[in-house]
A and B are shown apart, each in its own frame.
Chain A
Amino acid sequence: MNALHRRTFLKQAGLSAATLPFITGLPSLGLAAPARPRQRLVFMFSPNGTIPAAYWPDATGTDFQLKEIMTPLAAFKDRMLVLNGVHNKVRGDGDSHMRGMSCLLTGIELFPGNIMGGGGAPAGWASGISIDQEIKNYLQSKDDTRTRFGSLEFGVGVTDRADPWTRMSYAGANKPIAPISDPYQMYEKLYGQMKDKENLQSVLDTVKGDLQKVGKLISAQDRRLLEEHQALVRQMEKEIATAKDQKLRATPPALGEGVADQNDNLPRLSRMQIDLLVNSFVNDMARVATLQFTKSVGGARMNWLDIKEGHHALSHEDKDEAVAAKLVKINQWFAGELAYLVQKLASTPEPGGEGMMLDNTLIVWTNELGRGSSHTLDNIPFLLVGGAPGFSMGRSLKLDKVAHNRLHLALAHAMGHRLETFGKASLCEGGPLKLTAA
Chain B
Amino acid sequence: MVASKKCRWFVGLPSGLLLVSLWLTSPASAAPFSLFSRKPDGPAIYKQQCAKCHGPAGQGVKGKYNDPLVGDWSTEKLTRYIAKTMPEDKPGSCTGPNADAVARYIHDTFYSRAAQAKTQPARVELVRLTNRQHLLAVADLFRAGEEPKVTSGKGLAAVGYKSRTIRREDKALERNDGKIEFDFGKNRPQWAGEGTNGFALNWTGSVLPDESGDYEFVVKTANGVRLWVNNDEQPLIDGSVSSFKGVEHTATLRLIGGRAYPLRLEFFKTSRDPLANVTLLWQPPHGARQVIPARNLAPERAATTFIIATPFPADDSSVGYERGVSVSKEWDEAVTHVAIEVATYVAKNLDRLTRSKASDKDRAAKVETFCAELVAKAFRRPLTDEQKNLFVTLPLHSAAKPEDGVKRVVLLTLKSPRFLYLGIEGVQSDDFTIAERLSFGLWDSLPDAALTKAAVEGKLRTREQVTEQARRMLADARTRGKMQYFLHHWLQMNHIEDLTKDPSLFPGFTPEIISDLRTSLNLFLDDVVWTESSDYRRLLLEDDFFVNTRLAQFYGITSNATEDFVRVQLDPKQRSGVITHPYLLAAFSYNKSSSPIHRGVFLTRNIVGRALRPPPIAVAFKDGDFKPGMSMREKITELTRSQACQSCHSVINPLGFSLENFDAVGRFRDKDDNRPINAAADYTTDDGGIVRLKGARDVAEFAVKSEHAHNAFIEQLFSQVVKQPMPAYGPDVLNQLRLSFVQSGYNVQKLLVDIVTVSALQGTAKLASTTK
Complex: how many Å from CA A263 to CA B416?
Answer: 46
Q: A114-B270, A222-B125 are in contact. Are A196 and B415 (CB under 8 A)?
A: no
Complex: how many Å from CA A24 to CA B337?
Answer: 11
Distance (whole angstroms) from the CB of A296 to the closest CB of chain B: 14
Q: A226-B126, A229-B332 are in contact. Are A125 and B426 (CB under 8 A)?
A: no
For A20, give the chain B residue with the smallest CB separation: B333
Neighbouring A residues of B427 by C-beta, 8 Å: 217-219
A36 CB within 8 Å of chain B: no
Cross-chain contact A9 with B330 (CB below 8 angstroms): yes
- Mask, A5-43, CB within 8 Å of B = 1, is 000011011110001101110000000000000000000
Neighbouring B residues of A10 by C-beta, 8 Å: 313, 330
B92 CB within 8 Å of chain A: no
Complex: how many Å from CA A218 to CA B126?
Answer: 8
Neighbouring A residues of B340 by C-beta, 8 Å: 22-23, 196, 200
Q: A122-B272, A214-B418 are in contact. Are A13 and B426 (CB under 8 A)?
A: no
Partner of A199, one of B241, B242, B343: B343
Count how many chain B residues have C-beta atoms less than 8 Å from C-beta atoms of the other chain. 58
Distance (whole angstroms) from the CB of A138 to the closest CB of chain B: 25
Complex: how many Å from CA A125 to CA B243?
Answer: 8
Cross-chain contact A113 with B241 (CB below 8 angstroms): yes
Partner of A217, one of B312, B336, B424: B424
Q: A15-B313, A200-B336 are in contact. Are A214 and B424 (CB under 8 A)?
A: yes
Distance (whole angstroms) from the CB of A225 to the closest CB of chain B: 6
Stretch of A205-213, A276-284, A368-376, A404-412 that contacts chain B: A205-213
Distance (whole angstroms) from the CB of B213 to the closest CB of chain A: 12
- Mask, B219-251, CB within 8 Å of A = 1, is 000011000000000000010111111010000
Cross-chain contact B327 with A228 (CB below 8 angstroms): yes
Distance (whole angstroms) from the CB of A277 to the closest CB of chain B: 24
A221 CB within 8 Å of chain B: yes
For A225, give the chain B residue with the smallest CB separation: B126
Neighbouring B residues of A414 by C-beta, 8 Å: none
A202 CB within 8 Å of chain B: yes
Complex: how many Å from CA A374 to CA B329?
Answer: 64
Cross-chain contact B241 with A114 (CB below 8 angstroms): yes
Cross-chain contact B240 with A163 (CB below 8 angstroms): yes
Q: A116-B270, A122-B272, A202-B395 are in contact. Are A232 and B329 (CB under 8 A)?
A: yes
Neighbouring A residues of B561 by C-beta, 8 Å: none
Neighbouring B residues of A12 by C-beta, 8 Å: 314
Neighbouring A residues of B238 by C-beta, 8 Å: 162
Cross-chain contact B311 with A13 (CB below 8 angstroms): yes
Neighbouring B residues of A226 by C-beta, 8 Å: 126, 417, 421
Cross-chain contact A200 with B128 (CB below 8 angstroms): no
Complex: how many Å from CA A236 to CA B425?
Answer: 26
For B239, give the chain A residue with the smallest CB separation: A174
Q: A162-B238, A214-B424, A218-B424 are in contact. Are A112 and B245 (CB under 8 A)?
A: yes
B398 CB within 8 Å of chain A: yes
A177-205: which have CB < 8 Å to B? 195-196, 199-200, 202-203
For A110, give the chain B residue with the smallest CB separation: B243
B407 CB within 8 Å of chain A: yes
Complex: how many Å from CA A195 to CA B224?
Answer: 39
Complex: how many Å from CA A13 to CA B315?
Answer: 10
Distance (whole angstroms) from the CB of A181 to the closest CB of chain B: 16
Cross-chain contact B416 with A210 (CB below 8 angstroms): yes
Count how many chain A residues have C-beta atoms less than 8 Å from C-beta atoms of the other chain. 49
Cross-chain contact A113 with B242 (CB below 8 angstroms): yes
- Mask, B537-548, CB within 8 Å of A = 1, is 000000000000
Complex: how many Å from CA A411 to CA B328?
Answer: 48
Cross-chain contact B411 with A203 (CB below 8 angstroms): yes
B334 CB within 8 Å of chain A: yes
Complex: how many Å from CA A319 to CA B102?
Answer: 112
Distance (whole angstroms) from the CB of A14 to the closest CB of chain B: 4
For B404, give the chain A residue with the smallest CB separation: A199
Cross-chain contact B224 with A114 (CB below 8 angstroms): yes
A242 CB within 8 Å of chain B: no
Cross-chain contact A207 with B416 (CB below 8 angstroms): yes
Distance (whole angstroms) from the CB of A198 to the closest CB of chain B: 8
Neighbouring B residues of A164 by C-beta, 8 Å: 241
B742 CB within 8 Å of chain A: no
Neighbouring A residues of B395 by C-beta, 8 Å: 202-203, 206
A228-258: which have CB < 8 Å to B? 228-229, 232-233, 235-236
A314 CB within 8 Å of chain B: no
Distance (whole angstroms) from the CB of B340 to the closest CB of chain A: 5
Complex: how many Å from CA A232 to CA B328?
Answer: 8
Cross-chain contact B332 with A13 (CB below 8 angstroms): no
B328-348: which have CB < 8 Å to A? 328-330, 332-334, 336-337, 339-340, 343-344
Complex: how many Å from CA A196 to CA B407?
Answer: 8
Q: A12-B314, A225-B128 are in contact. Are A202 and B332 (CB under 8 A)?
A: no
Partner of B399, one of A13, A174, A199, A222: A199
Complex: how many Å from CA A116 to CA B198?
Answer: 13
Neighbouring A residues of B310 by C-beta, 8 Å: 19
Cross-chain contact A162 with B408 (CB below 8 angstroms): no
For A164, give the chain B residue with the smallest CB separation: B241
For A196, give the chain B residue with the smallest CB separation: B340
Neighbouring B residues of A15 by C-beta, 8 Å: 311, 313, 330, 334
Cross-chain contact B418 with A210 (CB below 8 angstroms): yes
Neighbouring A residues of B768 by C-beta, 8 Å: none
Complex: how many Å from CA A48 to CA B96?
Answer: 105
B390 CB within 8 Å of chain A: yes
A111 CB within 8 Å of chain B: yes
Cross-chain contact A218 with B241 (CB below 8 angstroms): no
Complex: how many Å from CA A221 to CA B122?
Answer: 12
Neighbouring B residues of A219 by C-beta, 8 Å: 126, 426-427
Distance (whole angstroms) from the CB of B386 to the closest CB of chain A: 10
A124 CB within 8 Å of chain B: yes
B468 CB within 8 Å of chain A: no
Cross-chain contact A203 with B424 (CB below 8 angstroms): no
For A215, give the chain B residue with the smallest CB separation: B417
Complex: how many Å from CA A247 to CA B456?
Answer: 50
For A232, give the chain B residue with the smallest CB separation: B332
- Mask, B442-484, CB within 8 Å of A = 1, is 0000000000000000000000000000000000000000000
Complex: how many Å from CA A81 to CA B269?
Answer: 46
B355 CB within 8 Å of chain A: no
A419 CB within 8 Å of chain B: no
A97-145: which have CB < 8 Å to B? 111-116, 122, 124-125
Distance (whole angstroms) from the CB of A243 to the closest CB of chain B: 13
Complex: how many Å from CA A24 to CA B426?
Answer: 33
B143 CB within 8 Å of chain A: no
Neighbouring B residues of A174 by C-beta, 8 Å: 243, 247
Cross-chain contact A22 with B404 (CB below 8 angstroms): no
For B223, give the chain A residue with the smallest CB separation: A114
Q: A195-B404, A218-B126, A233-B332 are in contact. Are A113 and B426 (CB under 8 A)?
A: no
Neighbouring A residues of B328 by C-beta, 8 Å: 232
A62-120: which have CB < 8 Å to B? 111-116
For B198, give the chain A residue with the smallest CB separation: A114
Distance (whole angstroms) from the CB of B196 to the closest CB of chain A: 13
Complex: how many Å from CA A174 to CA B244?
Answer: 12
B138 CB within 8 Å of chain A: no
Neighbouring A residues of B756 by C-beta, 8 Å: none
Distance (whole angstroms) from the CB of A201 to the closest CB of chain B: 10
Cross-chain contact B333 with A23 (CB below 8 angstroms): yes
Complex: how many Å from CA A336 to CA B412?
Answer: 47
User: What are 24 A-B pairs at a CB distance below 8 A?
Assistant: A13-B314, A15-B313, A15-B334, A23-B333, A113-B241, A113-B244, A114-B272, A162-B241, A174-B243, A196-B343, A200-B411, A202-B399, A202-B408, A203-B395, A203-B408, A206-B395, A206-B412, A207-B415, A214-B418, A219-B427, A221-B123, A221-B125, A222-B125, A226-B126
Q: When A and B form their complex, which 5 residue pairs have the shortest distance between CB atoms, in order from nearest? A: A222-B126, A14-B311, A111-B243, A13-B313, A232-B332
Q: A163-B240, A199-B408, A200-B340 are in contact. List 7 more A-B contacts (CB 8 A).
A: A9-B313, A15-B311, A163-B241, A174-B247, A202-B399, A206-B395, A222-B426
